[in-house]
Structure formats: structure tokens, C-alpha cells
Structure 1
Amino acid sequence: MTTLLWPPAQVALPVAGRSEGFPVRRVYCVGRNYLDHIREMREGDERDDPFFFQKPADAVVPDGAVVPYPPQTTDLQFEGELVVAIGTPGSDIAPQDALGHVFGFAAGIDLTRRDLQRRCREMAHPWEAGKSFDHSAPCGLIQPVEEAAWTLSGELRLSVNGDLRQHTGLKLMIWDVPEIISHLSRSYRLMPGDLIYTGTPAGVAPVRPGDRIHVEITGLPTLTVTITEGDTHASQRTA
């Protein structure tokens, strides 16, 4: 069947040591997965099960991207996160089997229109307005799991213009990577090309045009993006 409109290009992320890219199918994000961030957001001290929200696949931009400041907000904030890239399909996955479904890992940023997110939360509305906008999911070079010289007990650091803003140990996640994959696979059949952003620690804060955000995770390629004035074509350029 031919299509009425020109089909959109699929986003593909570069993979360390490979000429082939990683085609992005879906983007899942874990909400409130670090206790210090829950307290920072004044959302209590406990939670029962992890919850998830999604971003569109074309919200993903690669390392070196120039990200235009989005519309409808005056409070764009960064959230540095570990990203899991799924390589093997599965549903209802047991935690002990979860890492066998992982293709690789990367550094990521969950950009958030915090003012809109808060407004959505106050009205008991979904978070899409605050989370699921254009260019809101920067993701670094994917390191294949068999080549990753790191462990899930590594550290995450995020700096803005060279100033350290976030610093945590990945072992401080409330739900670790196998548990996240297991919980998510109960609701969705995970497929190759899926990305999972695993949550952010405390230290989130606003950024403005001209700011340069840099994320480091032990043993993984770094991620750097630059925020610019709003421009619908800016993400096609590199910093």
C-alpha cells in the first residue's frame, strides 16, 4: 500500500564501534526513581510500584545536538538519566532474565517543561505537556552491553556550563534496571529499538538558551547538548 503522506524518517542513534545505527521504536521513562529527587519535588518519601510515561520516538536527539528552547514554558529543566536500549523482544520478563534483553546502555537527558508538568499534576492530567515535546529526549552514543566496561553500580554526573549539578550512584535507584524492565514488560511487549530512561536524581534546575549540558556515566560515552533560542530547525544542526 502506498501512503497518502510522505512517511517520517525513523530516528536512529549511533552505536559505539558499529557502522549501523540503533533505530528507535519507543521511548519509555520511569517516574520518580531516586528518593532524593522525590523529596526535592516534595512528593513524599515512599512509592509502591514504578510508573511510566512515554515520549515520541522523534523526541530523541543525539550527542552534540543543538536543542531549541521549547514553546509554552519558562521553566525548562534537565534530568540526567541512564538509558537502557532493548535488543531482544519480551513480555512478562522475570527480573533475573531482564538483562538478557538489553542491547546496550547510554547517557540521556529527560528535558522537562516543569511548569507544565506541575500544572498537569495539580489538575490530575497526564504528564505529556510537560514531558513529551519535540527534542525532549537527548541520548548519547549507545554502548553495546557486551562491550560496556562498567557496572550498574557506576556514577552519573551532569554539569551545566562546567558546573556540577547532579551527582549520584546508580545503585541508589529505587528500582534497578532488571526490576524496571520486568515491571514495564508486564504492561507492554518490549521490542528491539525501545529506549528506557531510568529516572533522575536530585539537583534538577532550569536551563536557558546558551547553556551547555554535559552528562557522564561511568564507563559510557558522554552526552553533550546545547540549548538555543527556539528554532524549529535547530535540532538538525550540531553544536
Structure 2
Amino acid sequence: MAAQGSLIVTNELRELAARQWQDYRLRTPGTYFGEGYRALNLYQAYAVQAEVARLRCEAGDAVAGYKVGCIGSGVVEQFGMSGPIHARIFCSELKATGDALQHSAFANLAIEGEMAVRIGADGKIAQAFPVIELHHFVFRGVPKTLAELVANNGLNGGAVIADSAVAAPLKEWTSARVLSVSVNGKEIDSGDLWAMAGGAVEAVGWLGEDLGRYGLSLSPGELVLTGTPLGLHPVRPGDQVGVSVDGRELVTCLVE
């Protein structure tokens, strides 16, 4: 067996991770979970996530940061389970506001609007800004489980990042209240700016503690998606997606 941080990756889990990585490249994520095999516990699911990340980085990708997931009331109700969980964000899947996304590059593309932060040189939050999180919205197990969610890297398929001019110190977002998502100019969801009651500070604090349980830590420059209080919304080719704060659209993408 091999270790990833403080996680123990058994031969069985290593084989599953290789399958997960292959499934991801084929855009058929998580086939294991639809075939009635032995259920994973949460520790094993994080071990699989870590091993897949190792394989991805070995193939030339890099971890850009982490997401906190499954905490907002919209997603908790939609998934029928409650986190929080953490998952990795990869450099190859970061997009700039205004970019066009290929729908065919995802397995059932779905989006969330949420706030993200960048970790500063001192390990604290340097900047905050809105993003559009991208998802491969596929669950195969019945019922859905946190283990499947974690092993599938929180369903993450990347994120569309607001322009650097939008990024501002956390204190400058203190008066901001409403996060909203629009598709084709029509608002489809809105709610509080932060998913956790303590906002970005609580989200990053929880993430740091949870990563520490698995021998990991946040590094300067890393991106953290702090979770959304809103729901997850499938989108189709031709959809124009926007995320606004207090009615001001700050990040967009087009689905082709």
C-alpha cells in the first residue's frame, strides 16, 4: 500500500482511483458507484480523491486550490445529504469570465454561483470574488452518498473566474448582500452571499482543519471556493450564464 499525506491508499483503492481517472477522461465519471460494489466510507473516498489527484498531476495537471461543498441549503436539499466536504480544483479547468465552454466537454454540465477567495502570502484571505463553478452533475448510486460525491471530487469540473479588477479584499465585500444567477438574462436563483454563517473566514477555517486531518494544508496563492447558498443548475448549449452581486453582473460564460 502507499500513502497520500496521512491517507493510506490500499491496492484496491489505487485500482479504483485508476478507474476513476479513466472514467473522468472518458466523461463518464464514477461508473463504479452504479454497479453495486461495496460502498466506500468517507476516509476511503478521500483516499481515492487524493490518488486521482496524484494521477492527474503526474499527467501534467496541477492543483489550483480547493472547494468547500455540500453546505448551502439549496444543494443540501437537492442532493439529500449534508456536508461539508472538500475537493480539489485543477489548473487545467480554470476559465476566465466571458469564456465559451464546450457542453460536450462535461458530463451533464451544471453550474453554481458562489464566492471564492485567494490565499495570501500570510496564509490569510487576500481577496474575494465571485465565480461560476462548473460540475459534471452525475450521481450513479442509489441513494446518493457523500462517499460518491467525495470520490468524484465534489463533481467539480472547474470554475469561471471573475476579472482581476473585480477581486477585492474581504472587507470590501462586507456590505454586499445578494448573490444571484441568471441564464439567458433571466434570474433563476438568488440568496445570501456566503453559504456558511461566518462567511469566507469560517469556510477557509473549516477547510484548513479538514485538510489537516489528511496531512494537507492551504498554500499562498491557492484558490478556495467557499460553497454556495444556492442550488446547482443544469445548462444547455446556447445558454449565457451570469453571476451577480447585488444586481451587478461580475462573471459570465457562454455554453456552446
Give the TM-score taking structure 1 as reference length.
0.67
Instruction: Report how many residues are paired.
Output: 189
Q: Which one has a larger percent helix, Structure 1 or Structure 2?
A: 2
Tell me what 1:119 maps to.
140
Deviation for aligned residue 1:192: 2.0
The answer to whether the aligner puts 1:69 opposite 2:94 as a matched pair is no
Distance in 2 (CA, whole Å) between partners of 1:111 and 1:168 is 19
The one-character-per-residue Cα deviations of 1:37-68 (angstroms, maximum 9, x if unpaired) are: 21132226xx5xx3211121221111111111
Matches for 1:1-239 after TM superposition, within 5 Å = 26-43=64-81, 50-71=84-105, 73=107, 75-90=108-123, 101-115=124-138, 118-119=139-140, 121=144, 124-125=147-148, 126-128=150-152, 131-133=155-157, 136-142=158-164, 143-146=166-169, 149-151=172-174, 154-170=177-193, 173-174=196-197, 176-186=199-209, 187=212, 188-218=216-246, 222-228=250-256
Q: Structure 1 counterpart of 2:225, which letter?
A: Y
**TM-score, normalisation: structure 2:** 0.63
- SS of structure 1 residue aligned to 2:87: strand
RMSD: 3.1
Identity of aligned residues (%): 25
Q: Structure 1 residues 193, 171: CA separation in 2 closer, same or farther (over 3 Å shift)?
A: closer
Which region of structure 1 is more displaced relative to structure 2, 217-226 or 199-208?
217-226
Structure 2: how far apart are the matches of 1:88 and 1:219?
Answer: 32
Relative contact order, CA 8 A, sep 6+: which one is greater? 1
Give 1:165 shift: 1.3
Report the alpha carbon displacement of residue 146 of structure 1 after superposing the two structures with TM.
4.1
Whether the 8 Å CA contact 1:159–1:165 is kept in 2: the answer is: yes
Which amino acid letter does the alignment assign opposite residue 81 of structure 1? E
The separation in 1 between residues aligned to 2:127 and 2:153, in whole angstroms, is 29
Letter paired with 1:140: A
Any conservation in 2 of the 1:140–1:221 contact (CA below 8 Å)? no
- Quick check: 2:178–2:246 contact (8 Å CA) kept in 1? yes
Amino acid corresponding to residue 188 of structure 2 in structure 1: R
Could you tell me whether the CA contact under 8 Å between 2:99 and 2:254 is conserved in 1? Answer: yes
Does the C-alpha gap of structure 1 residues 193 and 168 become closer, same or farther in structure 2, counting only changes over 3 Å? same
Contact residue 87 and residue 102 of structure 1 kept, 8 A: yes
The answer as to whether partners of 2:176 and 2:245 remain within 8 angstroms in 1 is no
Instruction: Look up the match of 2:50.
Output: none
CA deviations over 1:112-171 (Å, ceiling 9, x no partner): 1112xx1265594444377344xx211112445449643175210110001111201125
C-alpha spacing 1:127/1:195, structure 2 compared with 1 (3 Å): same
Q: Contact 1:89 / 1:191 at 8 angstroms: preserved in 2?
A: no
Change (3 A) 1:122 1:71: farther
Structure 2 residue ranges without an equivalent (≥5): 1-58
- How many angstroms apart in 2 are the aligned matches of 1:104 and 1:54? 19
Whole-Å Cα distance in 2 between the matches of residues 198 and 33 of structure 1?
10
Counterpart residue type for residue 159 of structure 1: S
